[in-house]
Amino acid sequence: MHLYNKQHIKIYNSLSGEKELFTPISEGYVGMYVCGPTVYSNVHLGNVRTFMSFDVIFRYLKHLGYKVRFVRNITDAGHLENDADVGEDRIAKKARLEEIEPMEVVQRYTVDFHNILNKFNFLPPSIEPTATGHIIEQIEIIKNILDKGLAYEVNGSVYFDVLKYNETKPYGILSKRNVEDLMHNSRELDGQSDKKNPQDFALWKKAEPQHIMRWPSPWSDGFPGWHLECTAMSTKYLGEQFDIHGGGMDLKFPHHECEIAQAEASNGKAPVNYWMHANMLIMNGKKMAKSTGNFILPTEIFTGDNPHITKSFSPSVARFFMLQAHYRSILDFTNNGLLASEKGFFRLMDAINALDDLKSAGTSTFDIKEWQQKCYDAMNDDFNSPILIANLFEAVKFINQIKEGTASLSQDDLDLLKSTIHTFVFDVLGLVNVKESENGTDKLSGAVELLIQLRQEARANKDFGMSDKIRDELAAAGIQLNDGKEGTTFTTN
């Protein structure tokens, strides 16, 4: 019997605005699509947060025994500046500025994305398709929508006819907007005059002569609209109807709304049963975003090299920090928040490290099965990782009480406690057991290490005046250098 027959998940479906019992289309199988990054720059911690929410969901579904096909794409064409239908392609722009090929931009930032996700111990998705690898599929969908009369061609570009579509299917069902409001609120931007209505969106854009990312099509040499790639890739790998589609909250409109309309127009079916949206990571009270400069890069967390933090943090601590918030809550990035998570993380790891030395007893003073079910209940309730973590801290309490001799567990219960903790901490939350000593260095240590190195160089150059000055000035600041056989270390008073 699979665990999923016993543990029933409820998912908050953005489409209905309610938590719904999760029933996959085919028993035992889950198809999940998550919008991937646009690879024109390094991913920031906000992007990582959204991907991490779905990494944990993927891990939990797998743990329950589902066979999950998890598709997360790479957007390597079609995503224009300002998420609009006019402007430069983000990747082409970067290529122009750096005087390199667009595919060099794509390669560089795809590699960076993978490196960062590996550092955070992500599981790779089952398929990671690219937009440029699916131009033919995108053209086929456009032909289909044109055949249905729900798109129109103007000057080599093809637009989705939102008003026409809205005559039979509601446009705006996901983001709860209606077309009348959209018409009043849409501004006519320069260059959009080809559209019949400003809320129509591009399925295919004719490339301007300077636009280097271009492909032949029946309408023009051009490129697909941003929303189309996800419809093409999700349909190709998961079918016309699949279980879960995820992404950040900011993609709900227009991106996901347009995905629904394209798929409905092309296949006549609602593509997704459960729409899931992860909430934003904010910093200084504003959304973390590349465009505004209000962001922190994961590598800056690992090195401590950013004015928002006072020290470096290991990827597992940063991961723990993010999972202490529910994926649908806004999370505020602060140094104090990270410091508090760091303490909690090492308390949890210390307890896990102590598990192997715990001695069993004849009887148990805790109901471990009940505690284990509480861990499942937390994850079954729309993947509530903060409640799961609170339950894990309950276990930390028992472990410490057993160590102190004020509580006991039978051998079977002790085994169950160990295996459950390992499952949830390492397999489901994806944390890695790092020791406190491996958790990076604080900024002071980094600076002193640099001065120690400079002093060694000064000594090697026989500049004893400089080497003494470094030692004395540090001593005056309360930092003593101790020269030993193994090199120089320091202590602070």
Which stretches of the chain bind ligand AMP, using CB under 6 A? Answer: 35, 37-38, 46-47, 49-50, 247-248, 250-251, 280-281, 287-289
157-160 vs 201-206, strand pairing mode = antiparallel
Residue nearest ligand AMP, CB atom distance = 248
Joined together, the tokens standing for residue 44 give 């920031």
Q: What is the enclosing helix (H) or strand (E) of 339?
A: helix 335-355
Whose CA is closest to 46, among 311, 229, 246, 318?
318
Q: At CA 278, angle to CA 275 and CA 284, rounded to 5?
A: 155
Q: Based on C-alpha coordinates, what's the Rg of the chain?
A: 27
Which is nearer to ligand AMP, 84 or 407 (by Cβ)? 84
Least CB distance from residue 127 to Zn ion, whole Å? 14
- CA pair distance 202, 191, nearest whole angstrom: 12
- CA pair distance 294, 307, nearest whole angstrom: 12
Least CB distance from residue 35 to ligand AMP, whole Å? 5
Least CB distance from residue 233 to Zn ion, whole Å? 9
Query: Which residue stretch of 27-35, 184-192, 309-317, 347-355 sits at the interface with Zn ion (rule: CB under 5 A)?
Result: 27-35
Residue matched to tokens 């002790």: 414
Integer CA distances (angstroms), 113 to 119, 130, 254, 303, in order: 10, 14, 24, 17
Which is nearer to ligand AMP, 46 or 344 (by Cβ)? 46
What 3-state DSSP class applies to 163? helix
Which is nearer to ligand AMP, 35 or 117 (by Cβ)? 35
Q: At CA 68, angle to CA 62 and CA 74, rounded to 5?
A: 115
Least CB distance from residue 247 to Zn ion, whole Å? 6
Query: Which residue stretch of 132-140, 200-208, 227-235, 302-310 sits at the interface with Zn ion (rule: CB under 5 A)?
Result: 227-235
| 105 contacts 39 by C-beta, under 8 angstroms | yes
- CA pair distance 171, 188, nearest whole angstrom: 19
- CA pair distance 397, 407, nearest whole angstrom: 10
151-154 vs 157-160, strand pairing mode = antiparallel
* Contacted entry of ligand AMP, Zn ion, none for residue 339, CB cut-off 5 to 8 Å set by kind: none
- CA pair distance 154, 427, nearest whole angstrom: 52
Q: How many residues bind Zn ion (CB under 5 A)?
A: 2
* Contacted entry of ligand AMP, Zn ion, none for residue 142, CB cut-off 5 to 8 Å set by kind: none
Joined together, the tokens standing for residue 152 give 């129109």
171 alpha carbon, distance to own chain's centre: 28
- CA pair distance 26, 20, nearest whole angstrom: 17
* Contacted entry of Zn ion, ligand AMP, none for residue 50, CB cut-off 5 to 8 Å set by kind: ligand AMP
* Contacted entry of Zn ion, ligand AMP, none for residue 273, CB cut-off 5 to 8 Å set by kind: none
* Contacted entry of ligand AMP, Zn ion, none for residue 281, CB cut-off 5 to 8 Å set by kind: ligand AMP
Q: At CA 64, angle to CA 61 and CA 68, rounded to 5?
A: 40
Which is nearer to ligand AMP, 15 or 481 (by Cβ)? 15
Least CB distance from residue 283 to ligand AMP, whole Å? 8
Which is nearer to ligand AMP, 48 or 146 (by Cβ)? 48
Please give the torsion angle defined by the CA atoms of residues 115, 118, 120 and 125, in that order, rounded to the nearest 10 degrees: 120
Least CB distance from residue 481 to ligand AMP, whole Å? 43
Residue of 139, 230, 260, 375 that binds Zn ion (CB under 5 A) = 230
Residue of 9, 11, 15, 35 that binds Zn ion (CB under 5 A) = 35
Known binding residues for Zn(2+): 35, 230, 255, 259
Which is nearer to ligand AMP, 38 or 316 (by Cβ)? 38
Least CB distance from residue 63 to Zn ion, whole Å? 26
| 136 contacts 144 by C-beta, under 8 angstroms | no
Known binding residues for ATP: 290
* Contacted entry of Zn ion, ligand AMP, none for residue 230, CB cut-off 5 to 8 Å set by kind: Zn ion
Which is nearer to ligand AMP, 248 or 440 (by Cβ)? 248
Integer CA distances (angstroms), 123 to 2, 196, 297, 322, 435, in order: 21, 44, 20, 17, 22
- If one asks whether residue 238 binds Zn ion (CB under 5 A), the answer comes out as no
Least CB distance from residue 281 to ligand AMP, whole Å? 4
Interface with Zn ion in residues 60-99 (CB under 5 A) = none
Q: What is the enclosing helix (H) or strand (E) of 48?
A: helix 45-63
Query: Which residue stretch of 34-42, 145-153, 324-332, 342-350 sits at the interface with Zn ion (rule: CB under 5 A)?
Result: 34-42
Sheet holding 29-34, edge to edge: 67-72, 29-34, 242-248, 272-278
Least CB distance from residue 90 to ligand AMP, whole Å? 9
Interface with Zn ion in residues 118-147 (CB under 5 A) = none
Joined together, the tokens standing for residue 265 give 């127009």
Query: Which residue stretch of 39-47, 122-130, 222-230, 329-337 sits at the interface with Zn ion (rule: CB under 5 A)?
Result: 222-230
Kindly write out the interface string for residues 323-352 of this chain, putting x where it contacts Zn ion by CB under 5 A and - elsewhere: ------------------------------
Which is nearer to ligand AMP, 50 or 199 (by Cβ)? 50
Known binding residues: 35, 230, 255, 259, 290
Residues that bind Zn ion (CB under 5 A): 35, 230
